[in-house]
Amino acid sequence: MLYRIAAIKTLLLSLFFVCYSLQTFAQDDKKNEVLGRRPNAITTAVPFLMIGPDSRTGGMGEVGVALPNDMNAQHWNPAKYVFSDKLGGISISYSPWLYGLGLHDIYLAYLSGYVKINKLNAVSLSLRYFSMGEMELRDYLGENPLGDGVTVSPHEFSFDVAYARKFTKELSMSVAGRFIYSNLTTVSGVSGTTEGIKPGLSGAADISLFYQKNLRAERLYKSIIGFGVNFSNIGAKISYSTNMERDFLPANFRIGTAYTMYIDKFNSLTFALDLNKLLVPTSPIYKTDTNGIIVRDGKGSPIIESGRDPYNTSVVGAIFTSWYDSPYGFAEEMSEFIVNVGLEYAYNDLLFIRAGYFNEAKTKGDRKYLTVGVGIKYSIFCLDASYIVPVNQRNNALDNTLRFTLSFDLGVPIVPKASL
């Protein structure tokens, strides 16, 4: 009885923390309005790499870097795989995109899997495919179709492989390599439209750490705490033309924690918090004339009034300068952090109910939404679904749509003995 009372107290404190955080986010947005900070969202190439692909985390506000028992850890933190009590697993996810606008041919498909070599090592891979549907090419005014009504089917995909190693009973690390292909035109032979345009190719790497520890819990059946960090999409810039500037990949820093308390043998609650920030240059403020036109120097380059020149920054350099290059200073740097909070209730590892919140600063994209989700597990199969509920007037590509994930466990492992 005492441990159940303690669990209720912990739940109430967690809910208070979430409510307090949401109030703080709202105050920060209001402060930005008072100070006159204009929207200055960070843009990169191939943003599909940043989309949370699975429904479990999708129902928990897209937290994931420290979430335990994660079949889709390949995206969030592959170092978690070595803590799995299964031999391996396979997961398939489907996320419709802009479905609420009547566009039924835009979607994200994701396939991932992992295998534990032994108690200390695991390998994993994933394939991500993003279809942008079919569209008709028109002239630069958007009035007349090109040729005889040329249509294109833009699409992007990535394939990655990761290796994870457990160094102690509580600490693991992983490295991953990724191939990226982005074809936004898929057409040739139309005069005056796509000369010099080509699919974008690049490669990237991830490095991540995960720490998980069983805690003493006198008033609980047991409890587990985890911490994770992931540096992802660190790779060469990508270009779609031989005569255009190369664009940054969405290099990202994600850090978070998760706490799971088992109230008894059948009931558990998991609380998770993630913070993530893009490691790419923030757009500077360019000098403008009285008509709002950007002023250029003698070489034709725009004059920067505040901030740093993103085109003269290397990939490695951006990892460091992205922490202090915002034209509005430290306050804007802090607003570049996306905050995710999530909660999951599990009953006997059979039924899962989830909720979460995703918050992005108003000047950095203004994505704010609640998420809910449910999961049902039977034997080696698990079906998860999630749903996004927007909390502001800004549309989200996944507003009012369901995401689905079907996963398969490969059973309890039989591994050779290995000591740490």
Listing DSSP states for 61-126 in one string gives TT--SS-SS-TTHHHH-GGGGGG-SSSEEEEEEEEESSGGGT--SEEEEEEEEEEESSSSEEEEEE
Total number of domains constituting the chain? 1
Query: Is residue 394 one of the residues assigned to a domain?
Result: yes
Is 38 a member of any domain?
Answer: yes
CB 240 within 8 A of CB 271: no
Which residues, in sequence order, are CB contacts of 123 under 8 Å at separation 6+?
114, 115, 117, 161, 162, 163, 164
Q: For residue 226, is it within any domain?
A: yes
Q: Which domain holds residue 216?
A: 2-281+313-409
Q: Which alpha helices (H) appear in 150-253, and where do they start and end?
A: none
Q: How many CB atoms lie within 10 A of CB 342?
A: 29
Dig out the tokens for 404 from the structure.
């689905």
Tell me whether residue 139 is exposed, middle or buried, using C-beta atoms within 10 angstroms of its C-beta: 0 to 12, 13 to 18, 19 or more. Answer: exposed
Phi, psi angle pair for 33, to nearest 5°: -65, -40
| Per-residue tens of pLDDT for the chain, all 420 residues | 444 444 444 444 444 444 444 444 444 444 444 344 578 888 899 999 999 999 999 999 999 999 998 999 999 999 999 999 899 999 999 998 877 677 778 899 999 999 999 999 999 999 999 998 887 766 655 566 665 666 778 899 999 999 999 999 999 999 999 999 999 875 544 444 555 678 899 999 999 999 999 987 777 788 999 999 999 999 999 988 877 678 999 999 999 999 999 988 899 999 999 999 999 999 888 888 777 788 888 777 788 887 788 888 899 999 999 999 888 888 889 999 999 999 999 999 999 999 999 999 988 988 899 999 999 999 889 999 999 988 876 666 667 778 999 999 987 655 555 555
User: Residue 234 belongs to what H/E stretch?
Assistant: strand 222-235
Q: Does any domain span residue 248?
A: yes
Predicted TM-score (pTM) of this structure: 0.85
| 225 found inside a domain | yes
Q: What single-letter amino acid sits at 137?
A: L
Q: Backbone dihedral region of 85: left (phi > 0), alpha (psi from -120 to 50 degrees) or beta?
A: alpha
**Do residues 80 and 89 make contact, with C-beta atoms less than 8 angstroms apart?**
no
Query: What are the structure tokens assigned to 295, written together?
Result: 């002023």
CA-atom Rg of the chain in angstroms: 23
Q: Is residue 218 part of a domain?
A: yes
Write down the pLDDT at residue 75: 96
The continuous run of DSSP H or E covering 2 comes out as helix 2-35
What confidence score (pLDDT) does residue 407 get?
Answer: 95
DSSP per-residue letters across 390-406: E-SSS--TTBT-EEEEE
Dist CA 219 CA 2 (whole Å): 6
- Look up the CATH number of the domain holding residue 76: 2.40.160.40
SS3 content of the chain, % helix, strand, coil (to 5): 20, 40, 40
The span from the CA of 98 to the CA of 389, in Å, is 14
Q: Of 62, 142, 68, 136, whose CA–CA distance to 95 is shortest?
A: 62
Give the DSSP H/E element, type plus range, for residue 34: helix 2-35
Assess if residue 286 is contained within a domain: no
Q: Is residue 298 part of a domain?
A: no
